[in-house]
Every structure is written in C-alpha cells, then in structure tokens.
Structure 1
Amino acid sequence: MAWIALVVAGLLEVVWATAMKQSEGFTRLGPSVVTLAGMLLSFGLLSWSMRVLPLGTAYTVWTGIGAVGAFAVGVLALGEAASPLRLAAAGLIVAGIVLMKVASE
C-alpha cells in the first residue's frame, strides 16, 4: 500500500508542478489553488509512505516520478523540446527509479 501511495504522490507532484506553471507566478486563482492542493496531497502521501519505506527510496522515487512526469507534460502538452539528449536523460531517471525499487526489496 505504501508503494501505491508513493506513486500517487509522485503523480500529484506532476499535477502541482504543471498547475504552478499555469498559475503564471500565482497570479491566476484556479491553477494556484490546484498547485497548493496538489502539494498538500502529494506531501501527505509521501509522508505516509515514508512510515514504511526507507527515506532514500521514497524520496528518490517521488522526485523521479515528478521529474519525468513534468518533462513528459512539458513535451506533450506545452511544446517543449524533446531532443535525443533530453529523452536519454529522462530514460536514465526512469532507470534509476526502477533500480531504486528493485534494490529496496
């Protein structure tokens, strides 16, 4: 159950990071509210998962999901560049997440 909470927390990190970008420096109310709510839920689930999972594993997986997810949203929805080097970097982050999960079992 802790792993599910951690994955959801990571996905919520993508939500709040995207909403923060859309808030235009917290000048738009709707995206600002989504940012703050997403942060609270994401941090809450991360904290809950850390009661069971090791700190290093939980934090690495959470930030990795957030980083790769935000990169994907940037490329797919916001028109950001998807150069081979950036794609390789995202792939290395995913590989690190998988290795961290495997190593923690």
Structure 2
Amino acid sequence: MAWILLVVAGLLETVWALALKESDGFSKLGPTLVFGVAIVASMVLLALALRELPVGTGYAVWTGIGAVGAAIAGMVFLGEAAVLGRILPIALIAVGIVWLALSHE
C-alpha cells in the first residue's frame, strides 16, 4: 500500500508543478487552487508512505516521479522542446527510479 501512496504522491507532484506554472505567479485563481490542493495532498500521501518506506527511497522516488512527470508534461502540454538532449536524461532518471524501487528491501 505504501508504494501506491508514494506513486500517487509523485503524480500529484507533477500536477502541482504544472499548476504552479499555469498560476502565473499565483495571479490566476483556478491554477493556484489546484496547486494548493495538489501540494497538500502530495505531501500527506508522501508522509503516509514514509511510515513504511525508508526516507531516502521514498523521497527519491517521489521527487523522481514528479521531475520526470513534469518534464514529460511540459513537452506534451506546454510545448517545451522534446529533443534527445532532454529525453535521454529524463529516461535515465526514470530508469533510476525503477531501479531504486526494485532494489528496496
């Protein structure tokens, strides 16, 4: 169950990162509200997951999911450059996340 909570928390990190960008410095109410709800929910789920997972593993996987998700979402939804020089390191981070999760004891 802790892993499910952690993955959802990481996905919510992606949501709050995108909402933060769209809030335009907190000047747009809708994205600002989405940001607030998503960041609180992400932190709560992370905290619950860390009851059972080591902090190093949990935090690294959480930030990795958020970073990879935000980078991919930026390319897909915000028109950010989708070039090999960006895709390859994002893929390496994703591999690292999976590797770390699989090596958890």
Q: TM-score range by the shorter chain?
A: over 0.9
- Match of 2:60? 60
- Match of 1:101? 101
Unaligned runs of 5+ in 2: none
- Match of 2:75? 75
How many equivalent pairs are there?
Answer: 105
RMSD: 0.6
Cα deviation 1:37-95 (Å, max 9, x = unaligned) = 10000000000000000001000000000000001110001100011011010011001
- Match of 2:11? 11
Look up the equivalent residue of 1:77 and give its one-letter code.
F
**How far has the Cα of 1:103 moved from its partner?**
1.3
- Match of 1:51? 51
TM-score between the two structures when normalised by the length of structure 2:
0.98
TM-score between the two structures when normalised by the length of structure 1:
0.98
Identity %: 53
Unaligned runs of 5+ in 1: none
Look up the equivalent residue of 1:86 and give its one-letter code.
R
1:20 is paired with a residue of what secondary structure? helix
Q: 1:53, 1:89 → 2: CA distance? A: 26
